[in-house]
Structure 1
């Protein structure tokens, strides 16, 4: 059972940490109208409520960004692998056309959402240590979970915006650093590494089927951080490829994770937070349902129980057709895509004449043959999968040691075997590296990962040539007039944030 069902339904709906509404379940004598962070954190239950609130705030990724759009779309449409079937959201259209600026609502929502997670984690880290009596083992775990979530948020921020304010303590209007300046990216990465390193010592279990942060999640994220630091823009190189290799290998050898046998398990309610799913954003319809199903459906082709089918984020045909012949990931309703589905969600099968994303398709909510959908989605949203860890290891090992070893081949070939593709063998270091990049594009698509690979590698997959172009100058295949430039390596800081805090200047180059 997801721990959100037990805790968030009771705890978060009271909005106790920020808004001061009813908290009678947690306080015996306090007047709820007088609650503040200074008076609230007195019982172990308060620690649990506070960390639950931090988890809840990660769900900003699925929150709305104007008509027919949620925040997750930003990281997909700028890759050139996704398009939209509705042109009614100007902010999304501007992202697709690479014409966005600091006024873009999605750009602003990512900034606000990530700092909201950080603010809640800072409260936990500042206030929970003083709670007594509290089981010290559980207290250490709560603090470890908070450090992971803060690192998770800063890892997004530094890759999206570059130099960003580094806020590691609770802020109020009286805080000396209430209008902070931007910290160099390397300092942000140092905090991320420090948080994750401390979280490794928090006594977390290797796996946690409830959806909480686990040791596996901590070490997996740290391997991804090291791999990113090895590449652009920090260029830490060999030392950090070694760190990424070793951390990913630790997860592979000791975590007890495995690839699912079937791609259907990637979007099954029965396999959430298990085996391949190392860390996910949690959804439960009775608390906060997954709001992204309608946005991923074809634009009003009547393939689900939902009355609204938007088509906000759908694959480009060029990317869909770039999969190798026989790749199971491109097979209709078995891999990551579907080109046919049931009329109304539960009627006769019909052809759709275009590919759509099946990787995140909630069969229970949408319906299937002979079974009407519920229109209530509990499906989690993936953040770290074991497949990603395998590919991190393979890429990092190849760069750290100068050539791929048997373990690196085994890691990538496990992914290819599931896709029913021939194993890789006998490749040079350069050829193996490109093969890993190609697997990352095809295996990790539509999980908010591809854009960050483009930025750290300064490379973009070219579907027409099956090779990699330089980032600057790469043209999107479905619209060759749209080309990436150096300025697109970072998103602009939100205009409203700069207006409210002049210390954030200068704006990122090109905006």
Structure 2
């Protein structure tokens, strides 16, 4: 490598070299020779997509996932100076030099590159003895994961380059232009339609995506574009497949358990990253190490409590009377978790006689629970320092139900793409209420006879809190691809982002401190391209060009 910027270009364009330090960049499918020499049997082709569910996502999973999706969205808080990966997002100060911005870009384009390698090389490398349906299923998985990566990329950065084959750019890296958001969405849609038609049905329980998984993500992509009729068609495909259900309502389990190892690939899981602690850092899920409130919980020396649940999120659960999801998402004084520290009878939040003090992560007066799974002993040895073996959700069945409710409301509200739904718009539609109330029933909440768009957005917030999703709801409130965000800005400015002081003996809040100050503008709703990328490729800063489909 001639300079430090070339490495970032290699990530973007999928031209990986064997000298890269991160081993997961060098696993198949990586290049034509590897694909051609390895994927010769049905089993090998079926396993060819395994890499797409873990390591390439590592730089996005964890800090970027939560910093963008929950910290800047107001679900989480952190002190200034806690961690450079988080600080900028706590006060809407992320710049083109912020490490987390670079990590998100590099990780998501690594997913794209790995998917491209499989898509481009597998068809010509597989012998005739492997059934075409097996090959097409692998290609469908690859195109779904590429679509998922681009869905994040365009929501984060707006116009981005659509790369399917890096070969034409060799020797001209500095001329790669971005493509418009609308073209990126069209590209995503085409990938998902292929995946829907070619992925096997009924296999999501294995950790691989199914045809209905593609339908679910396509429903969400249509919803973001405010194509409500199309979104509803996809929602119905998912429901009619019979493949998925709500854990704790349709099938055994609990809301809390979904985010533990016992919940991996459950009936509700539609698309999930598959982590293992056995490979250590880079191969396991690092979320627990970052957000667990203390090291006693993890038993591995991490558990740094770098994010705490905001008062605004805590109050949202309280005001809704939502104790089931709150308990699975946030731990507060008096909570008990039998699945953590099992050897001593479970974990009590603030049990001084057992050496368990008050929890006050980042001055929140509480701590995170979702994706916090406990010690290696609690997990049959399947957790380690900065690595656990529980999945990270990219899509759950509950999301599909709420997408259906919103699509019906949006259609009845008569809004056009680019025009946000009035937050006071009301739906009394029986089907929409059925979707929404099913999610509420699992949360132990009473059924509604009508709902507003504001209520639906709040339902989504409570259901998916600390799953890296809320920011994108705020981002789209004012309409698809709308550069102006007055409603979202007003909602964010109204949030309670204060910190608190807690008495260590009683666990009670003794006083409140001002939250971190910021001035939110429309520009804050899209991240800047990383400085390393624009330095190497100034063409990223030029106006986008139409993609040639």
User: Which bin holds the TM-score, normalised by the shorter protein?
Assistant: 0.7 to 0.9
- Please report the RMSD computed on the Cα atoms of aligned residues, expressed in angstroms: 3.1
1:47-101, Cα deviation, whole Å (9 max, x unpaired): 456422333344325667xxxx565433221101101268332342121111121
Q: Say if 1:38 and 1:349 are closer, same or farther in 2 by CA, change over 3 A.
A: closer
> Aligned to 1:294, which of 276, 289, 293?
289
* Alignment equivalent of 2:477, drawn from 442, 457, 480: 457
1:219 is the counterpart of 2:211: no
Per-residue displacement from partner, 1:208-253 (whole Å, max 9, x unpaired)?
22211111210110000001111xxxxxxxxx11111221122122
Structure 2 residues not aligned, in runs of 5+: 1-14, 21-26, 249-253, 351-357, 360-364, 414-426, 480-484, 498-514, 545-549
Q: Deviations over 1:448-494 (max 9, x none)?
A: 110111111139xxxxxxxx982235324222732421001101110
Question: 1:439 Cα shift?
Answer: 0.3
**Cα gap change, 1:213 to 1:39, in 2 (>3 Å):** closer
Q: 1:407 aligns with which of 408, 424, 431?
A: 431
Alpha-carbon distance in structure 1 between the residues aligned to 2:204 and 2:52: 17
Give the counterpart of 1:444 among 464, 473, 485.
464
Report what 2:506 is aligned to.
none
The equivalent residue for 2:520 is: 484
Secondary structure of the 2:198 match is coil
SS at match of 1:278: strand
Contact 2:293–2:304 (Cα < 8 Å) also in 1: yes
CA distance 1:397–1:496, change in 2 (3 Å): same
Task: Give the structure-2-normalised TM-score.
Answer: 0.75
Structure 1 length-normalised TM: 0.80
**C-alpha distance 372-167 of structure 1, shift in aligned 2 (>3 A):** closer
Structure 2 matches for 1:328-407, cutoff 5 A?
Answer: 328-329=323-324, 331-332=326-327, 335-339=328-332, 340=335, 345=341, 346-347=343-344, 349-351=348-350, 352-353=358-359, 354-363=365-374, 365=376, 367=378, 375=384, 377-402=388-413, 403-407=427-431
Q: Secondary structure at the match of 2:518?
A: strand
Query: Post-superposition shift, 1:359?
Result: 2.2
**Which of 120, 134, 138 is the equivalent residue of 1:138?**
134
Match of 2:160, SS state, is coil
Distance change in 2, residues 1:97/1:507 (3 Å): farther
Range 404-413 or range 97-106, more displaced: 404-413
Q: What secondary structure does 2:517 align onto?
A: strand
8 Å contact from structure 1 (residues 244, 392) kept in 2: yes
Separation (CA, whole Å) in 2 of partners of 1:469 and 1:330: 30
Write out aligned runs for 1:311-322 (5 A). Answer: 311-322=305-316
User: Is 1:57–1:116's contact at 8 Å kept on the other side of the alignment?
Assistant: no
Corresponding residue number in structure 2 for 1:28: none
Q: Does 1:303 align with 2:285?
A: no
Q: Counterpart in 2 of 1:52?
A: 50
8 A Cα contact 2:383 2:389, kept in partner: no
Preserved CA contact (<8 Å) 2:60 2:107 = no
Q: Tell whether 2:417 aligns with 1:421.
A: no
Q: Which runs of 5+ in 1 are unaligned?
A: 1-15, 22-31, 231-239, 460-467
Q: Is the 8 A contact 2:298 2:374 kept in 1?
A: no
2:103 is equivalent to residue 109 of structure 1: yes
Kindly tell me: are residues 325 and 227 of structure 1, through their superposed partners in 2, closer, same or farther at Cα, counting changes over 3 Å? Answer: closer
Give the whole-Å Cα distance in 2 for the aligned partners of 1:95 and 1:50.
36
Q: Do the aligned partners of 2:79 and 2:87 also contact (CA within 8 Å) in 1?
A: no
Q: Quote the Cα distance in structure 1 between the aligned partners of 2:542 and 2:455.
A: 39
SS at match of 2:270: strand
2:204 maps to 1:188: no
Pairwise CA distance, 1:363: 4.0
What is the Cα deviation at residue 289 of structure 1? 2.1
Q: Tell me if 1:93 matches 2:87.
A: yes
Partner of 2:454: 434
> Would you say the 8 A contact 1:86–1:310 is kept in 2?
no
Question: 1:400-447 deviations in whole A, cap 9, x for unaligned?
Answer: 24544212111111111122211110x3xxx53222111011111111
Greater RCO structure (CA 8 Å; 6+ sep) = 2
- Report the secondary structure of 1:44's partner residue: coil
- Count of aligned residue pairs for this structure pair: 451
Q: In 1, distance between residues paired with 2:191 and 2:69? A: 25
CA positional deviation for 1:305: 1.5
Which residue of structure 1 lines up, in the alignment, with residue 175 of structure 2?
179
Instruction: State the shift of 1:143 in Å.
Output: 0.5
Please, which moves more after superposition, 499-508 or 387-396? 499-508
Match of 2:261 in 1: 269
The whole-number CA distance in structure 2 between the counterparts of 1:379 and 1:39 is: 30
Match of 1:278 in 2: 270
